[in-house]
Chains A and B, each alone.
Chain A
Amino acid sequence: MGPTNINDPEYFHKVVDCQYACPAHTPVPEYIRFIAQKEYTKAYMINWESNVFPGILGRTCDRPCEPACRRGRVEEEPVAICRLKRVAADNKGAVKHLMPDIPKKKNGKKIALIGGGPASLTVARDLAPLGYEMDLYDEWSGGGGMMRTQIPAFRLPIEVLEEEVNYILDMGINTHFNHYVESMRDVLEKDYDAIFVGTGAPKGRNLNIPGREEGEANIHIGIKWLAGVAFEHIKSVGKKVIVLGGGNTAMDCCRTSKRIGGEQVTVVVRSPFKTMKASPWEIEDAMAEDIPILNNMPPKEFVVENGKLKGVIFSKVRAEYDENGKRSLIPTGEADEFIEADDVIIAIGQDNAFPWIERDLGLEFGKWDLPVLDQTTFQSTLPNVFFGGDSAFGPENVITAVAHGHQAAISMDLFLRGENTNNRPAPMTNLISQKMGIHEWMYDSPVVDDLRYKVPHQDKKISLKDRKVEVELGFDETLGFKEAQRCLNCDVQTVFNTSRCIECDACMDICPTSCITFTANGEEEELRQRLIAPALNTTQDLYISEKLPTSRVMVKDEDVCLHCGLCAERCPTAAWDMQQYFYNVTKASSGCLVKEE
């Protein structure tokens, strides 16, 4: 293998597993260190720059960073990255003065943002400091999109939502709430220089089985029902509730039911429990509220008597997989099961819907009725119309909507300045030695053994009574510190300087996780096998030095490096150095986003 090019900004970025996995590439270890130092405001602002909604995401993020976290590979569980974000948000000081000034004099270009969810709000935040004038339209009475209409208050208090949404709306965005945009043609005819569509995936799937129409009064579509509860059009539900579906929406529906009158709430999924789509922690929380989840039971019929819903009949199946792993649900032959219900909530998925976009505008739609978009620039086939969030490629989550928003904002800014939207700005990177003395580092290098700490919960007796009582209490400062200490500082890179190495083996001998081998070079596949600990996780790179005087090379498997710095401490010639790598995705307004304190 050739020597590793550590000047490629993606090489060390990939070593920071959490940041790499985060759609918005939040500099995770950097903010975790700030939390450990009680620098909550700094930790908050790093997050705010990258992911715009630290307080919201610190409670609700889908956390793709956590399954990626290195700690999960060397120990049982990842660092509670997401809940640490909340510690920063809960304990921060004043932040508004650190946010960018919005030019009084606008730059003359006008933008329409359709939909008020996280994607549109991110575009607004990134472009407002550049002097764009923006009109935001949303059908509901306030901003936030599904963060407001769908995510229940017991997971995300309204004050937390409003605080972070308002930071953006206060940047001089012209809001048009309670305004459903009926026609794209009309919008195009107005004086907007560019249009961003962030309307989400607003259509809940229906279930057409016998009895559906007859039972209509007590059969609800999950996302519509949750919005109804959020806006208090719906204040109660029957005592016996069945929730159909195994995703996060189903979990929110059943837990909400428990809080507004449901006594016997049951979730029924058609396939096996272990293939449920909901996040494991959402399932865990629902079960902790004594909500049974029945599996392998597809609904067959709504039973309606005298115009009144009585319950649902389910058949019984088991899952079988063919050699390609394709699943089929085979009837077990057992008798069908009838479950009584006063109300049934259907939460079996969402679809995109653009009934308001006319199809003769030159804006093309492709597969699944999704707009045809450039995957990087988010530009549609109408050059002044951009998409992002769930409306772009189908339903995802808040952090993905934010990441899309950043990229769309860059594209729109380039477009409006007459530049090529493919001229993407490079990330901002920096590599700083952590050396303070002979064996002293600027970061806290020792690795602690602590297992993941659990976030304390509100007493069930209290939280089940009121849908607005937040279930998770968050880590306090002490727990937050302890959890922060579990972070391995994966951004503090082991940087190797071939010309200094005298091949004494000290680094190889000390490494607690056997990452380093000095050996003859070879082809990657074969080389991976003959390292002192075979490098079997091929998703992680090998760091290869130039040729050493003995003709060997240094090979470091990045997979389970603890970033403990021992290799560098035991190196007599400082051929290894621990250097902090800062990687930041460039935003449209980078440079003026966060002010120095």
Chain B
Amino acid sequence: MSYIKPTFVHPQAPRNEVGYLKRDYEGKISTLCAGCGHDSISAAIVQACFEMNIEPHHLAKLSGIGCSSKTPTYFLSNSHGFNSVHGRMPSIATGANLANKELIYLGVSGDGDTASIGMGQFVHVIRRNVNMTYIVMNNGCYGLTKGQDSATADKGSISKPSREATPYEAIDLVGLALELNASFVARSFSGDKSQLIPLLKAAMSHKGFAFIDIISPCVTFNNNKGSTKSYDYVREHISITGAMDYVPEEKAIEVEYAEGSQKDIELFGHSVVHLEKLAPNWNPTDKQSAIDKLQATKRNGQILTGLLYVNPNPRDLHQINHTVDIPLNKLTENHLYPGDGELDKINEGMR
């Protein structure tokens, strides 16, 4: 068993605009089961951060507990990180974001971590619109504790350890996020990097709460026949809102596409999400159309993936609370103590 990755990279491996190799965004060799969907998501995160020219020390990765929450060890070794207790990543992220709004926050959670023990935290972080990317590596089970059904396991789905159909209704995290007015909602599949990477880039550029529910097969406990979260099932039932591309600020040049089949959405700054071959009756900036589309695909037994909804002009936690421009962790005594004169003025006003 190899614990150390060879240091050699492809001799022509490119460096990005900030001078890093893709290797510089990687982490330790994964200890997850070989073939786990979570590892593919880690690889997509590495690729997205490399392509976005993120300086690793400008990013903080935060997670809870679970196989999914272990993955931050396997990517972005040079970034900040916090592995919190089970289901408590949202409060850590909220606190960190309040203290230093200048970092990019990447929250990594699992379906157990979010939809069961962390549900309370999840809904509140959406409500507060913390500027972060929140991804759920959704395998429909508690992988780390040997594969018990989670709250996102579809009713009727069979996993390897349960051996019988789940009797309960599943929680659809995407539906919930839309209901709670999350400002960016998407779903993807670990096995489709061509969709996942641009989605991650768009989510990390979005200035507000960006949620991505990523179906991520658990090869060991939930990749069997009868499971609705297996590689085969997802590949057979996937439906895509549209082919998408993320165009960063500097490269967002106008391109003409045929009317009705494409749409560009401007994100924070001038970065653009470019969507092509859009699904009919769906407008990603219109929440109602996203909800309708989601329901309709579900009725057909399909899994809708892609960017579902985005509010291009959200107000995040700092804007809602009118915090000062300077990040709170950079406020000095000079900023915080206005001086005797100010105090006198206040006292004067009280007389």
Q: Which residues of A contact B (CB under 8 A)?
A: 73-75, 438-440, 445-447, 449, 502-506, 508-510, 512-515, 533-534, 536, 549-550, 560, 562, 564-566, 569-573
Closest to B193 in A: A505
Closest to B8 in A: A74
Contact A449 B7 (CB under 8 A): yes
- A selection of 12 A-B contacts at a CB cut-off of 8 Å is A74-B11, A510-B29, A512-B9, A512-B23, A513-B10, A514-B10, A536-B12, A560-B10, A565-B2, A570-B30, A570-B35, A572-B219
Give B214 Cβ to nearest chain A Cβ, in Å.
Answer: 13
Contact A75 B39 (CB under 8 A): no
**Contact pick for A446, options B2, B36, B193, CB 8 Å:** B2
Please name all residues of chain A whose beta carbon is closer than 8 Å to the beta carbon of B42 when the two chains form the complex: 509
Contact A512 B34 (CB under 8 A): no
9 A-B pairs with least C-beta separation? A572-B35, A509-B43, A447-B6, A439-B1, A504-B35, A533-B10, A572-B34, A74-B8, A514-B10
Contact A512 B6 (CB under 8 A): yes
Please name all residues of chain A whose beta carbon is closer than 8 Å to the beta carbon of B193 when the two chains form the complex: 505
Please name all residues of chain B whose beta carbon is closer than 8 Å to the beta carbon of A446 when the two chains form the complex: 2, 4, 6
Contact B6 A573 (CB under 8 A): no
Q: Which of B30, B34, B42, B193 has the most CB of A within 10 A?
A: B34
Give B22 Cβ to nearest chain A Cβ, in Å.
Answer: 8
**Contacts A446-B2, A502-B231 supplied; 12 other A-B pairs, CB < 8 Å:** A439-B2, A440-B1, A445-B2, A446-B6, A447-B6, A505-B43, A512-B8, A513-B8, A513-B9, A560-B11, A562-B8, A566-B5
The answer to whether the Cβ of B58 comes within 8 Å of any Cβ in the partner chain is: no
A505 to B193 CA separation, bound complex (whole angstroms) = 9
Contact B1 A573 (CB under 8 A): no
Give B235 Cβ to nearest chain A Cβ, in Å.
Answer: 7
> Given the interface contacts A569-B1, A572-B34, A572-B219, does A505 sit within 8 Å of B40 by beta carbon?
yes
B18-34 CB mask vs A (1 if < 8 Å, else 0) is 00000100000110011
The answer to whether the Cβ of B208 comes within 8 Å of any Cβ in the partner chain is: no
Contact A506 B10 (CB under 8 A): no
> Given the interface contacts A564-B2, A571-B35, does A504 sit within 8 Å of B10 by beta carbon?
no
Contact B191 A505 (CB under 8 A): yes
Contact B191 A504 (CB under 8 A): yes
**Contact pick for A504, options B6, B23, B37, CB 8 Å:** B37
**Contact pick for B2, options A449, A503, A566, CB 8 Å:** A566
Please name all residues of chain B whose beta carbon is closer than 8 Å to the beta carbon of A502 when the two chains form the complex: 35, 219, 223, 231-232
Contact B2 A506 (CB under 8 A): no
The answer to whether the Cβ of B320 comes within 8 Å of any Cβ in the partner chain is: no
Please name all residues of chain B whose beta carbon is closer than 8 Å to the beta carbon of A573 when the two chains form the complex: 35
The answer to whether the Cβ of B13 comes within 8 Å of any Cβ in the partner chain is: yes
A566 to B9 CA separation, bound complex (whole angstroms) = 14
Contact A503 B12 (CB under 8 A): no
Q: Which residues of B contact A (CB under 8 A)?
A: 1-2, 4-13, 23, 29-30, 33-37, 39-40, 42-43, 190-191, 193, 217, 219, 223, 231-232, 235
Give A347 Cβ to nearest chain B Cβ, in Å.
Answer: 38
Give A326 Cβ to nearest chain B Cβ, in Å.
Answer: 31
A490 to B5 CA separation, bound complex (whole angstroms) = 17
Give B276 Cβ to nearest chain A Cβ, in Å.
Answer: 18
A513 to B6 CA separation, bound complex (whole angstroms) = 9
**Contact pick for A550, options B4, B10, B37, B235, CB 8 Å:** B235
Please name all residues of chain A whose beta carbon is closer than 8 Å to the beta carbon of B223 when the two chains form the complex: 502
Please name all residues of chain B whose beta carbon is closer than 8 Å to the beta carbon of A514 when the two chains form the complex: 9-10, 13
Give A595 Cβ to nearest chain B Cβ, in Å.
Answer: 37
A438 to B4 CA separation, bound complex (whole angstroms) = 17
A520 to B2 CA separation, bound complex (whole angstroms) = 31
Please name all residues of chain A whose beta carbon is closer than 8 Å to the beta carbon of B4 when the two chains form the complex: 446
Please name all residues of chain B whose beta carbon is closer than 8 Å to the beta carbon of A73 when the two chains form the complex: 11
Closest to A438 in B: B1
Contact A570 B6 (CB under 8 A): no
A101 to B144 CA separation, bound complex (whole angstroms) = 63
A565 to B34 CA separation, bound complex (whole angstroms) = 13
A117 to B161 CA separation, bound complex (whole angstroms) = 72
Contact B5 A509 (CB under 8 A): no
Please name all residues of chain A whose beta carbon is closer than 8 Å to the beta carbon of B6 when the two chains form the complex: 446-447, 512-513, 562, 564
A446 to B6 CA separation, bound complex (whole angstroms) = 7
Contact A533 B219 (CB under 8 A): no
> Given the interface contacts A439-B2, A503-B191, does A509 sit within 8 Å of B10 by beta carbon?
no
Please name all residues of chain B whose beta carbon is closer than 8 Å to the beta carbon of A440 when the two chains form the complex: 1
Please name all residues of chain A whose beta carbon is closer than 8 Å to the beta carbon of B9 when the two chains form the complex: 512-514
Give A494 Cβ to nearest chain B Cβ, in Å.
Answer: 14
Contact B11 A570 (CB under 8 A): no
Contact B7 A572 (CB under 8 A): no
Please name all residues of chain A whose beta carbon is closer than 8 Å to the beta carbon of B37 when the two chains form the complex: 504
Closest to A562 in B: B6
Please name all residues of chain A whose beta carbon is closer than 8 Å to the beta carbon of B235 when the two chains form the complex: 549-550
> Given the interface contacts A446-B4, A533-B13, does A570 sit within 8 Å of B39 by beta carbon?
yes
Contact A504 B40 (CB under 8 A): yes
**Contact pick for A75, options B8, B35, B190, CB 8 Å:** B8
Give A373 Cβ to nearest chain B Cβ, in Å.
Answer: 41
Contact B12 A506 (CB under 8 A): no
Q: Which of B2, B9, B13, B231 has the most CB of A within 10 A?
A: B2
A210 to B35 CA separation, bound complex (whole angstroms) = 78
Please name all residues of chain B whose beta carbon is closer than 8 Å to the beta carbon of A550 when the two chains form the complex: 235
Give A472 Cβ to nearest chain B Cβ, in Å.
Answer: 29
